Amino acid sequence: MSLYGMPVLILKEGAQRTTGREALRANIMAAQALAEVLRTSLGPRGLDKMLVDSFGDITVTNDGATIVKEMEVQHPAAKLLVEVAKAQDAEVGDGTTTAVVFAGALLGKALELLDQNIHPTLVIEGYIKAMKEALKIIDELAIKVNPKDRATLRKIVDTAVSSKYIGKGSIEEKLANMAIDAALTVAEEQPDGTLKFRIDDVKIEKKKGGSILDSKLIYGIVLDKEVVHPGMPKRVENAKIALLDAPLEVEKPEITAKINITSPELIKAFLDEEAKMLKDMVEKIASTGANVVICQKGIDEVAQHFLAKKGILAVRRVKRSDMEKLERATGGRIVSSVRDLTPEDLGEAELVEERRVGNDKMVFIEGCKNPKAVTILIRGANDMILDEVERSLKDALNVLRNVMREPKILPGGGAVEVELALKLRDFAAKIGGKEQLAIEAFAAALEEIPMILAETAGLDPLEALMKLRQLHSEGKVYAGIDVINGRIVEDITQINVVEPSIVKKNVIKSATEAATTILKIDDIIAASPLKKEEKEKGKGGAGKFSFK
Domains 15-144+410-526 and 220-370 share a fold: no
Residue 2 clears pLDDT 60, i.e. is over it: no
Tell me the catalytic residues: 63, 96-97, 395
**Please, what CATH class does the domain formed by 15-144+410-526 belong to?**
mainly alpha
| CA trace torsion 155, 160, 166, 167 (10° rounding) | 40
Measured distance CA(404)–CA(393) in Å, rounded: 16
Count of C-beta atoms within a 10 Å radius of residue 247: 18
Q: Which of 45-54, 350-359, 417-426, 433-442 has the lowest mean pLDDT?
A: 45-54
For residue 4, what pLDDT is reported?
57
For residue 164, what pLDDT is reported?
63
Measured distance CA(147)–CA(183) in Å, rounded: 11
**What size, in residues, is the chain?**
548
Please give the CATH architecture assigned to the domain spanning 220-370: 3-Layer(bba) Sandwich (3.50)
* Average pLDDT for the chain: 84
| 4 vs 279, residue with greater confidence | 279
Largest CA distance in the chain: 101
Measured distance CA(425)–CA(416) in Å, rounded: 14
- How confident is the model over 491-532, as pLDDT tens digits? 888 888 888 899 899 999 999 998 998 888 876 666 666 665
Region for 387 from its dihedrals, namely left if φ exceeds 0, alpha if ψ lies in -120 to 50, beta otherwise: alpha
What separation in angstroms does the CA of 157 have from each of 393, 422, 452, 475, 541? 9, 28, 22, 28, 55
Measured distance CA(37)–CA(73) in Å, rounded: 12
pTM to 2 decimal places: 0.75
For residue 292, what pLDDT is reported?
93
Q: Of the ranges 23-32, 73-82, 86-95, 302-311, which is most confident?
A: 302-311
Domain boundaries of the chain, sorted by first residue: 15-144+410-526, 220-370
For residue 137, what pLDDT is reported?
93
